[in-house]
Structure 1
Amino acid sequence: MAFILAPLKGPGVSGMSVTSGDGVTRRGHPIYATFVGDYPEQCLVTAVKTGECPTCEAPRDKLGEDSEETAFPLRDLEKILVALETLGRWTNHLRKSGLPYTNIFRSISPDILHQLYQGIVKHLISWLKAACGEAEIDARCRRLPPNHNIRLFLNGISDLNRVTGKEHDQISRFLLGIIVDIQLPDNISSTRLLTAVRGVLDFLHLAQYPMHTPRRSLTSAMPSLASTTTRVSSLIWVFAKISNLPKLHNCAHYVMYISLFGTTNNYNTEYTERLHIYLAKDAYRSTNFKDEFPQMTLWLERKEKIFHHEKYIQWRLDGSPAPPTLKPLPPGIIYERRLKMTKHPTHKAVRINTLVADYGAVLFRDALIRFIVQFNNPTFSRPQIEARSASVTLHFNRVPVYHRIKFITEDPYTAGGPEDSVVDSIHVQPRKPLSSGKELPGRFDTSLVNDGSDG
């Protein structure tokens, strides 16, 4: 670590020319600002014991208390260094080998993957199974209707092993919906349970916002949700008989983290998890399993050179184009959605009687006639449309049918330039017999259409 960070010593004090994302070169001082890692790694770099908070001086037996009522002071680096020097202990670890303007206790950053998804959400699922029963939770999971933004766990979630952070993310999307009217044992009121689960899920999503406002999300919403999240400890004690979880306590520091370092998408360990495969597993497999570290390092260096050379060759084959210029866009969270259809319909010609019988579109013929009349006569009133529709006859009996509609939006902040992403979709598909003799059930998504009338 000291060898990797050694180049920051000189420029951190004297400064250097730094080019920012907008292309402007300014005088900057690169410093060791954030440490991105999970809780065991945070304990190692801060030299605190497991079970303690690496940021504040909260005792181990008081991590579950409400952070607003019991605010503990942040760890003071100078006092700790003085105490270590008095005892004659080594202090270079906390000083980070002389790096300027470095306070390791202020460099700890939130860990969305391990603290929230693989931590709080994982524990929350186990607490709900203990409180509500695994059979009931699994039965409610199987009854969920299909949805574009929800993954269905048709076998339930109780028997899942080695659940990834992505799967915990998918489970958290419907977790509140399956317990909203659940009955607890001994007729215990579920109000506290629902309040705690909703507070945890709200905090989970708010902590991942790509932008925050100081007056609303940081100073109003997040502190109250962090307080609700820490109050889950009383609920945990009732059902799981455990308390004082560092992951729950750490939620109280998220406002400070985001105020110091920006939004959490800048230092999420989820981005670097994939590097375990590229930099460790694949590299290790390329060695003879003896004296592996020099071989792994050499393999990675060669792999990187091959990658850069391949990109260069492709750039020359493409005619040596200039780097793409990204248009400066105003920040936003919700972007305009566009309707996207396939080039060809799913079925080119379906009888209208089939639409009535198999698709359930009982009023399709009448609705199509009214639409044709209104399209050709936009100034007609509703009674005029009804009167004209009575005399219209369709000279066809088949129509093309699309089984899927997509809604896409453009993400302007993608590294390779703006690209489209599917944010929602509507599925319409009648039941279908399979070759195995079974039948695939139909799927008809419910959609709310805004016709622009503000109705």
Structure 2
Amino acid sequence: MPIAPRPCDVTGRFLADGAPPTPPPIKSPDDWAPYRNRVEFETAEFLYTRNQMSAGDINILLDLWAATLLKYNDKPPLRTTVICIKLLTLRQWVMSNGNPSRSSTLGEARNQCTTLMDQSHDVWYRDPHEVIQNMLGNSGLRYRDGLSALPKTISEDPDTLGSTFVPSSVATGANDYYPLYVSIGNVRNNVRRAHRDASSSYRGARKRLKISEFRRQLFHSSVAKILENLRPGMTTPEVVRFGDGHYRRVIYGLGPILADYEEQVLLACIVRNCVRGMCMSHPDSLDTKSLCRRRDHTEALVEEATYGALWMEYGIVGDLVGTFKDHLVKWVGQYLQHVHGTKEAERIQADIDRRIAAVASFAGLRRFPEGRGFKQWTGDDSKALMKVYLPAIEGHVPTDVVRTFRAFLEFCYLVRRNIITESTLGQIQEALDRFHHYREIFESTGVVFTFSLPRQHSCSHYVLLIQLFGAPNGLCSSITETKHIKAVKEPWRRSSRYKALGQMLVTNQRLDKLAAAHIDFKNRGIQPNENSATVPVLFNADVTIQGDNEEGEIDNGPTLVQAHVQLAKTPQRKRAHTIPELSTELSIPNLYNVLRRFLFEQVYPDDQHPPSEIPLSRCPRFDGNIQVFNSASSTFYAPSDRSGIGGMRREHIHACPIWRNEAPRYDCVFVNTDASVEGMVGMDIARVMCFFSFTFNAVSYPCAVVRWFDKASDGPDQDTGMWIVTPSFDTDHSFSVGIIHIDSIYCAAHLIPVYGAQIISHDIKHHDSYDAFRAFYLNKFADHHAFEVAS
């Protein structure tokens, strides 16, 4: 059993349980050094970080600013861009991501390559040892206790007992400027995605070399050089101050690789289409279980075997000194052609595309107006398509194919959970076993002849890797894609484009120091604030990271509630102002009576009678004005999704007669109907037709007019794993309508039609989806939060 990490003092001696951390050095709350004052700092931050203004434009702006102050015999906060840059460069913050980049000339690789490559190559990098220590000391981060205990093999050493294990993940980016990223493994996904500097990057110039062996060797020699300062701390504990103020003894380790398959091949020195970076499976029999690959075994093979044997028999590149979509969707197309022939297969594929295009809009869910018929797939394309693909093929393919997709999707969502327990590990293995069982239909029908595929085989290692390194939530190559924009693309655009690498690195250093300075000022209680009474018109540099309403937003606030819904800030003046007017607008004749029964429930919450049985004579009357809103925002705890530091995420629920000048949009929601039970058993699904508010007896009531759905059964569909719902109707065959308090809304829900085996009309658009069909899957694959709620 791993020993939990313990705080210690600066000398490494463990503290008693509950002992407070050593207080940090006291700094003056008015100390803005090296800036003269707050205005100077915020001006520099605005010009360099927010506006990203060029040096020439900064000088022009400051000259104009100075001209307006001449009559007051005053000066602007910064005199020239040179002063601004100097201030940023001189500041050596403890929380910054390392010291200025170092340059190292690598000549070691030359002896192992041809004379054509007999030249030196510069590699720019930051010391990862200092970078990781700065990450650990960043008070803006949160760390997961579950990932801090040492693995058993290390914790058995008495010299390392009680130390904190810091698994560091490495990633790359294949570009002309070849970046190498590092991230610490005991940081939550919501920290990574809230831009709290939980990952950093080193950049090296990659030349387009003609000899691949030399390029590989240069890469591995560079990585070895960059990581060499971490090596001592992998066996001997170091004392490091963490963001919570405590010192801890730390052991470093290289953990999961944040890279796609092609880059894993490069990092692990293995042959492409062979997964031996992790295990000893032969490329022709990846379906069989095998031993894990070990470094000492690999080194012994390199020492004894020939180059050809290493390559062919073991999948190892022996001359180096080393440090979904592609299958399942393709198989469906091959199955349709194999069974139905080319012409009929094309007709079915066209209908699948129309089904995908007809899926209703949902926050954060990408739409495919033309189906899946784009020319070049990216990783984001694949992830987005798989959220809507399963219902689109159901009815056109056998049940086993549907269950194959279900098992694979459930596996993907389970391994991305924020917290993984022993029970979750069992579910992951069970989903993987189902995937292996049901995919046999592709082989039995002659669609494929082997499942010996590296990408699918790698799934079998997840349970072990999770046990070794913890929940992989957030450990994916998309993190480096996001970081690549900030670390490479944006600095490149700000450079002169000539010998830009050095300019890019300086830009990144200054941005890091500005961000670190901001955290330091915040910790000392002098954070810039938009509500400041002393400095007018200053921005809040810790604002919520916002996106388009269609994509949802990160909420960087603390975890306060599981879910909260509030109406939009501004009512719609051109919409109804009374209940009779709203009744006409929504074509709901009995809306006034529905409102009266709603008021009875609010005024007499202890009455046990169903609303439909309450005589109208007992129900309160309301004849006042109302305010109508086109949307409401739902803020909820969703740490497995793209969320803020507290795991909170915000999405918008729309109920408007015209959306983006195209068509009406009325979203669906989860409604809490029984708080005593968890999951879908205590939830109902409704479609919001309108948001409105009114005041009755001095009490404000924010409400929603909804159309109800009924659950088709007491559990999810056995084939797709999704609940099926149908519109609810009253005895007169009209839609069952209700008015609910918005406090009963949990969050938005996404429905996809049950298409069946019928070919759908070409005229059906995505905004027709909820009206054109009479049965729907509750899409639990829309995002990770929906998967938790609707499973």
Query: How far is 1:198 from its partner?
Result: 0.5
Cα displacement (A) at 1:149: 5.5
Deviation at 1:236, TM superposition (A): 4.6
Structure 2 counterpart of 1:30, one-letter code: Y
Residue of structure 2 equivalent to 1:174: 388
Change (3 A) 1:451 1:160: same
Pair 450,165 (structure 1): closer, same or farther in 2 beyond 3 Å = same
SS in structure 1 at match of 2:321 = helix
Distance 1:283 1:83, change over 3 A: same
In structure 2, relative to structure 1, the CA distance for the partners of 1:346 and 1:127 (3 Å cut) is farther
Q: CA deviation at 1:231?
A: 4.6
Q: 1:61 aligns with which of 273, 284, 291?
A: 284
Cα deviation for residue 173 of structure 1 reads: 1.8
Aligned to 2:247: 25
Determine the structure 2 residue equivalent to 1:328.
none
What corresponds to 2:629 in structure 1? 402
Which residue of the other structure, out of 346, 349, 356, is the alignment partner of 2:583? 356
Change (3 A) 1:257 1:23: farther
Matched residue, 1:124? 328
Query: Secondary structure of the equivalent of 2:257?
Result: coil
Aligned to 1:387: 617
Cα drift, residue 348 of structure 1: 6.6
Residue 346 in 1 paired to residue 563 in 2? Answer: no
Q: Distance in 1 between matches of 2:436 and 2:614?
A: 62
2:16 equivalent to 1:16: no
Tell me, yes or no, if the aligned pair for 1:130 and 1:239 is still in contact at 8 Å: yes
Match of 1:258 in 2: 466
- The residue that corresponds to 1:270 in the other structure is 478
Aligned residue in 1 for 2:427: 221
CA deviations over 1:198-251 (Å, ceiling 9, x no partner): 01100111111111112x111x21122223334565445443666422000100
Q: How has the CA–CA distance of structure 1 residues 428 and 387 changed in structure 2, closer, same or farther, with 3 Å as cutoff?
A: same
C-alpha RMSD of the superposition: 3.8
Query: Which residue identity does 2:271 align to in structure 1?
Result: K
1:306-335 CA-partner distances (Å, limit 9, x unpaired): 224534675798795279xxxxxxxxx996
Q: Report the CA distance between 1:361 and its aligned residue.
A: 2.7
Q: 1:183 to 1:317 in 2, by over 3 A?
A: closer
Q: Which amino acid aligns with 1:152?
A: R
Q: 1:302 to 1:345 in 2, by over 3 A?
A: same
Q: Distance in 2 between matches of 1:86 and 1:17?
A: 41
The separation in 2 between residues aligned to 1:233 and 1:128, in whole angstroms, is 11
Query: Does the Cα contact within 8 Å between 1:137 and 1:178 map onto a contact in 2?
Result: yes
Deviations 1:62-89 (A, max 9, x none): 12x3xxxx32112243233223223598
Q: Secondary structure at the match of 2:419?
A: coil
- Partner SS, residue 274 of structure 1: helix
CA shift in 2, pair 1:402/1:239, >3 Å: farther
Correspondence 1:442 to 2:646: no
> Superposition pairs for residues 216-365 of structure 1, below 5 Å?
216-218=423-425, 220-231=426-437, 234-237=440-443, 238-239=446-447, 243-265=451-473, 267-281=475-489, 286=495, 292=499, 295-296=500-501, 298-311=502-515, 320-321=524-525, 336-347=562-573, 350=576, 351-365=578-592
Q: Secondary structure at the match of 1:239?
A: coil
Q: Aligned match of 2:264 in 42, 52, 67?
A: 42
Q: Matched residue of 1:37: which SS?
A: coil
Gap regions ≥5 residues in structure 1: 97-119, 185-189, 324-332, 435-439
Whole-Å separation in 1 of the counterparts to 2:400 and 2:643: 43
CA distance in structure 2 between the partners assigned to 1:147 and 1:433 by the alignment: 14
1:349 CA displacement: 5.3
Alpha-carbon separation, structure 2, partners of 1:199 and 1:373: 46
Alignment of 1:184-199 (within 5 A): 184=397, 190-199=398-407
- Give secondary structure in 2 for the equivalent of 1:372: helix
Residues 145-176 of structure 1: CA deviation (Å, up to 9, x unaligned): 3334543323212x223343333322222222
C-alpha distance in 2, partners of 1:380/1:288? 73
Are residues 1:152 and 2:370 paired?
Answer: no
- Residue 57 of structure 1 deviates from its aligned partner by 1.3
| Structure with a larger share of its residues in strand | 2
Q: Comparing both structures, which one devotes a greater share of its residues to helix?
A: 1
Aligned to 1:430: 657
- What is the aligned partner in structure 2 of residue 164 from structure 1? 378
Distance 1:433 1:233 in 2: 42
In structure 1, the residue matched to 2:396 is 183
Amino acid at match of 2:296: E
Q: Which residue does 1:85 correspond to in 2? A: 303
Deviation for aligned residue 1:135: 0.3
The unaligned stretches of length 5 or more in structure 2 are 1-222, 308-317, 337-347, 528-558, 677-681, 683-791
For residues 507 and 659 of structure 2, the distance between their equivalents in structure 1, rounded to whole angstroms, comes to 49
- What is the CA deviation profile of residues 360-417 of structure 1, one whole-angstrom value per residue up to 9, with x for unaligned ones? 333211112233345445566756643334xx76544x53212223221256899985
| Partner amino acid, structure 1, of 2:260 | D
Q: Distance in 2 between matches of 1:22 and 1:447?
A: 39
Q: Provide the rounded CA distance (Å) in 2 between the counterparts of 1:450 and 1:21.
A: 39
Higher alpha-carbon deviation: 309-318 or 167-176: 309-318
- Answer yes or no: is the 8 Å Cα contact 1:406–1:426 preserved in 2: yes
Q: How far, CA to CA, are the matches of 2:257 and 2:479 in structure 1?
A: 14
TM-score w.r.t. length of structure 1 = 0.73
* Secondary structure, aligned partner of 1:29: strand
Residue 23 of structure 1 and its aligned partner are, at CA, apart by 4.0
Q: Say whether residues 1:52 and 2:260 are aligned partners.
A: no
Identity %: 21
Superposed CA deviations along residues 231-278 of structure 1, whole A, max 9, x for unmatched, are 565445443666422000100000111111111125322111134344
**Match in the other structure for 1:206:** 414
Contact kept? 1:236, 1:243, Cα under 8 Å: no
Q: Which residue of 1 aligns with 2:23?
A: none
- Is the 1:373–1:385 contact (alpha carbons within 8 Å) kept by the matching residues of 2? no
Give deviations 1:273-315, integer Å, cap 9, x for gaps: 13434444455664665xx4xx50x223311332245346757
Secondary structure of the equivalent of 1:61?
A: coil
